[in-house]
């Protein structure tokens, strides 16, 4: 059984972390499979759902594999770079990735979740960075991706004070975007993926690659980059029928919604 299972349903790919007996801990093979998938995704795939088998989303780095391999510093650094590359491809690959979270989202599990674009979570979800307690460190991108969501100061506190956050706290901190009932995250993630698959490619490209990159830029560079992206998106010839639909009052109405 593959540790990462890939199933295609029309325009949606379902990526399943499929090693529930080890709480979906990620070893080299799993990271390589994720990297391969996002390196050259099938052009027919327009959105991805990242889900997990069993009761937990992901327990992070496969500590057993690390213990057995006993990697040296350079080998471990290279391994971290493999994680960074795979998760960068996911974050900046221009395909929306919707995560269905439940149970433990810890260590490297939080690192992979932080590279997804929309995070839907069940009440059982909890977040932690237990590396401090285990005498190790983050290496799958948390210092960049998690710190940017919750702030660097809070990430330091999270690790030093060994905090874990429940789903509600995760929502307040931006780790979760929507809380659903137990057992409902996957269906909701698929529904969001289906809707996002309807967007124009160029629009998703701008949203997914532009916003995160622009937050790394100075104000002047960011505004310039935004105008470039907007110039590309707003001159998409396919946009005209969509605007005509809006003028004709046929576009879906925006409704205020409590989420």
Cβ-contact 238, 201 below 8 angstroms: no
Cβ-contact 193, 7 below 8 angstroms: no
- The number of residues in the chain equals 259
Segment near ligand 1HE (CB under 6 A), from 39-47, 60-68, 148-156, 233-241?
60-68
| Cα–Cα–Cα angle for 185, 189, 194, rounded to 5 degrees | 150
**Candidate residues 53, 136, 149, 202; the one interacting with ligand 1HE per rule CB under 6 A:** 136
Q: Which residues, numbered 15-34, are part of the site for ligand 1HE (CB under 6 A)?
A: 22-23, 25
Q: Which residue has the tokens 């919750």?
A: 150
Segment near ligand 1HE (CB under 6 A), from 10-18, 126-134, 147-155, 168-176?
126-134
113 binds ligand 1HE (CB under 6 A): no
Least Å from the CB of residue 36 to ligand 1HE: 18
Contact letters for ligand 1HE, residues 184-223 (x by CB under 6 A): ----------------------------------------
How far, in Å, CA of 77 to CA of 142, rounded? 14
How far, in Å, CA of 61 to CA of 221, rounded? 36
Residues 6+ apart with CB under 8 A from 183: 122
81 binds ligand 1HE (CB under 6 A): no
Instruction: Catalytic residue, from 5, 7, 65, 131: name it.
Output: 131
145 binds ligand 1HE (CB under 6 A): no
115 binds ligand 1HE (CB under 6 A): no
Edge-to-edge, what's the strand order for the sheet holding 104-106? 104-106, 126-128, 164-166
Tokens of 96: 């929306």
How far, in Å, CA of 104 to CA of 6, rounded? 22
How far, in Å, CA of 4 to CA of 26, rounded? 9
How many residues make contact with ligand 1HE (CB under 6 A)?
23
Of the pair 13, 167, the CB lying nearest ligand 1HE is at 167
56 binds ligand 1HE (CB under 6 A): yes
Catalytic site includes residue 111: yes
| Cα–Cα–Cα angle for 256, 187, 150, rounded to 5 degrees | 65
130 binds ligand 1HE (CB under 6 A): yes
Catalytic site includes residue 244: no
Least Å from the CB of residue 56 to ligand 1HE: 5
Q: For the chain, how big is the Rg over CA atoms in Å?
A: 19
Tokens of 191: 């529904």
**Candidate residues 106, 113, 155, 179; the one interacting with ligand 1HE per rule CB under 6 A:** 106
Residues that bind ligand 1HE (CB under 6 A): 22-23, 25, 56, 59-64, 80, 83, 104, 106-108, 130-131, 134, 136, 138-140
Catalogue the active-site residues.
111, 131
């Amino acid at each position: 059984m593959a540790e990462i299972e890939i199933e295609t349903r029309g325009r949606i790919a379902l990526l399943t972390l499929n090693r529930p007996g080890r709480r979906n801990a990620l070893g080299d093979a799993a990271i390589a499979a994720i990297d391969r998938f996002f390196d050259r995704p099938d052009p027919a795939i327009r959105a991805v759902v990242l889900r997990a088998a069993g009761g937990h989303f992901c327990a992070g780095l496969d500590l057993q594999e690390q213990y057995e391999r006993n990697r040296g510093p350079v080998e471990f650094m290279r391994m971290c770079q493999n994680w960074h590359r795979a998760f960068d491809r996911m974050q900046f690959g221009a395909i929306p990735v919707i995560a269905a979270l439940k149970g433990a989202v810890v260590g490297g599990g939080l690192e992979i979740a932080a590279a997804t674009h929309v995070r839907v979570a069940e009440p059982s979800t909890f977040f932690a960075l237990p590396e401090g307690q285990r005498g190790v460190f983050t290496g799958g991108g948390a210092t960049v991706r998690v710190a940017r969501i919750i702030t660097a100061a809070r990430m330091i506190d999270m690790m030093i004070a060994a905090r874990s956050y429940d789903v509600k706290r995760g929502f307040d901190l931006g780790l979760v975007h929507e809380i659903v009932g137990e057992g409902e995250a996957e269906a909701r993630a698929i529904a969001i993926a289906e809707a996002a698959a309807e967007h124009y490619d160029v629009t998703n490209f701008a949203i997914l690659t532009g916003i995160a990159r622009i937050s790394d830029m100075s104000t002047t560079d960011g505004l310039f980059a935004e105008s470039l992206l907007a110039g590309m998106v707003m001159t998409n010839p396919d946009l005209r029928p969509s605007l005509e639909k809006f003028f004709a009052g046929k576009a879906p109405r925006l409704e205020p919604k409590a989420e």
